[in-house]
Structure 1
């Protein structure tokens, strides 16, 4: 078992990692600035555990990061803290540059300083969690591999691409023991209600229009967040130093197909008094620079580490829909946060 410093552990993916790591007996130090998309309720299931500690720290604050390292002496870092909403990056790219690039630089330097002070232990790890969006957009054929050239198209993906490059440079230049992972679109419990899957569920229940960008023919590979958390812990503990691993759900769907699947589940488990939730689908103007297709080739993590997703997108979506139906208090409390329920990303 290891002591893991997890940045962004009150966010969507980060909290899934926190919950799973603690359940498996790892010590966890959750570092989160508690910005608009963070919620400590996400880690409530483990918050009272002796294995869990929380530090409210902004990764843009280097002195605060150094203090956390000295206080907790982690064996590993899992860096998930990031601004991640593409539409928000179009309206306000500065936050993405400061958090995703400068913040990652601070994390690398704080980790390097701590690692050197400890005598450069060989078993220390800096695991950087990134996205498949750094690879750009695919046509109808092909998949992203770890060797796909970077071609980011949005301020968000460009900032994440930059952070990936920094992590690789710190490994090559300073010898910092790093592992990188790039994931496909996540969904599941505790997903902040500005992203597609929760927007569909919440708008459907409220009787509101369900917005689909363009024609709804953009394709994504969908990864259940709890499967992703499992893959991340595996990459941290068994991944090869200096290597990157693409993590995908092996579940490609167009946005329209995904939305219709969610609404079919809702029609079954909480039917409307009249008609179908699909009647609420509304096509809206597309997002500027909207990538057409993402698809992950997960061969490396499957062959080298033995990981595969445990659920299909239909199984994962049903679990997700039922979670949102059972946890209305959680998402209702977030609907008043800045930008939620408002169309963003149109300023371009």
Structure 2
């Protein structure tokens, strides 16, 4: 079907990349982005699509149920893709209130508005309930932590969230499931591994390491740095959501991952190596980033600094995406080598995007 899509959190890292991907692949569809533009939301992330006639940006809060209802009606929305979330674990430890408000209450607000406009109002008017989709974007962190030899998370893995962030996402997952089973809302949920790529807010590991190297600042590594994560290039996440929307079964959950596990310390060392190499191969970078003296000398790894581990730090995440692969034909297009190369070069070439965020 032709989709008239509402993308919540579409000015954030993953949401913006999804909007770029969707409008490029589906020019016949329309996309409305709803974003409150909190610290991690940036309207500049959408500059490349802002002039497209099929695109519209609305600044607003997903907790504003009346606003959501109005957008669903006025824009004749038939698909919601829900990215909007507070997502930084460290922030959830120091200030969990925002995570409860946005991730739980915000998701409830969206579900309530969608049910009212897509189900309750047509039924009250004696009309047919039309096909619709509420797609909820979640995280592998809801499954908890894995031991070194444990099998990767599947869709049937029991939830065991360990941080306020992951607990709030787990609660939102359950609300989405309940609205399908109780009210018949046509939903799908995807749980994804760690994303990386363009427009990633500089507080997160990969962009933090890159931008700190460029300023000769310490590269903080929690504990022993041997926490393991499964990494996925952000456009491959968008591709996975596309497959769920097009082929996924209503009411089902789908894991989206890269089968690409890396220890944090190895990611940091790799970024040091790649940045050293970039300065060696691109002489103009020395003039562009004069503060990066160690990278200029091929010694960025000297910036690595081990710091006290954060409370309740999960040791390992790993996604088993077999269901998504077998049922939907999902396969990442990027290898980690190609994706991390693209990511590093994006940050080297787009200082005007990330420098103000670091300064802020």
What are the equivalent positions in structure 2 for 1:228-243 lying under 5 Å apart?
228-243=237-252
Alignment partner, residue 291 of structure 2: none
Distance in 1 between residues matched to 2:296 and 2:312, nearest whole Å = 39
Q: 3-state SS of the aligned residue for 1:35?
A: coil
Distance in 2 between residues matched to 1:270 and 1:171, nearest whole Å = 52
Distance in 2 between residues matched to 1:295 and 1:244, nearest whole Å = 16
- Of residues 46, 51, 54, the one that matches 1:51 is 54
Distance in 1 between residues matched to 2:5 and 2:246, nearest whole Å = 11
Indicate yes or no: 2:330 matched with 1:278. Answer: no
| Structure 1 unaligned residues grouped into runs of 5+ | 338-348
Distance in 2 between residues matched to 1:262 and 1:4, nearest whole Å = 36
Alignment partner, residue 209 of structure 1: 218
- Of residues 296, 310, 326, the one that matches 1:303 is 326
Alignment partner, residue 151 of structure 1: 160
Alignment partner, residue 90 of structure 1: 93
- Of residues 81, 89, 101, the one that matches 2:84 is 81
| Structure 2 unaligned residues grouped into runs of 5+ | 281-294
Paired residues, what number? 337
- Of residues 248, 253, 267, the one that matches 1:244 is 253
Offset, 1:57: 1.3
What are the equivalent positions in structure 2 for 1:124-273 lying under 5 Å apart?
124-141=132-149, 142-271=151-280, 272-273=295-296
Q: 3-state SS of the aligned residue for 2:359?
A: coil
Offset, 1:121: 3.6
Alignment partner, residue 347 of structure 2: 324
Contact 1:4/1:27 (CA < 8 Å) preserved in 2? yes
Offset, 1:145: 0.1
TM-score when normalising by structure 1: 0.95
Offset, 1:273: 3.2
Distance in 1 between residues matched to 2:159 and 2:130, nearest whole Å = 29
Q: 3-state SS of the aligned residue for 2:201?
A: coil
Distance in 2 between residues matched to 1:183 and 1:31, nearest whole Å = 21
Offset, 1:69: 1.2
Offset, 1:336: 3.0
Q: Which moved more, 1:20-29 or 1:184-193?
A: 20-29
Alignment partner, residue 311 of structure 2: 288
- Of residues 40, 45, 53, the one that matches 1:42 is 45
For the pair shown, which has the larger CA radius of gyration, 1 or 2? 2
Q: 3-state SS of the aligned residue for 1:176?
A: coil
Contact 1:210/1:281 (CA < 8 Å) preserved in 2? yes
Could you give the per-residue CA deviations for residues 294-340 of structure 1, whole angstroms, max 9, x where no partner exists?
00000001000001111122221110000000000000111133xxx
Q: Which moved more, 1:77-86 or 1:64-73?
A: 64-73
TM-score when normalising by structure 2: 0.92
Distance in 2 between residues matched to 1:165 and 1:124, nearest whole Å = 19
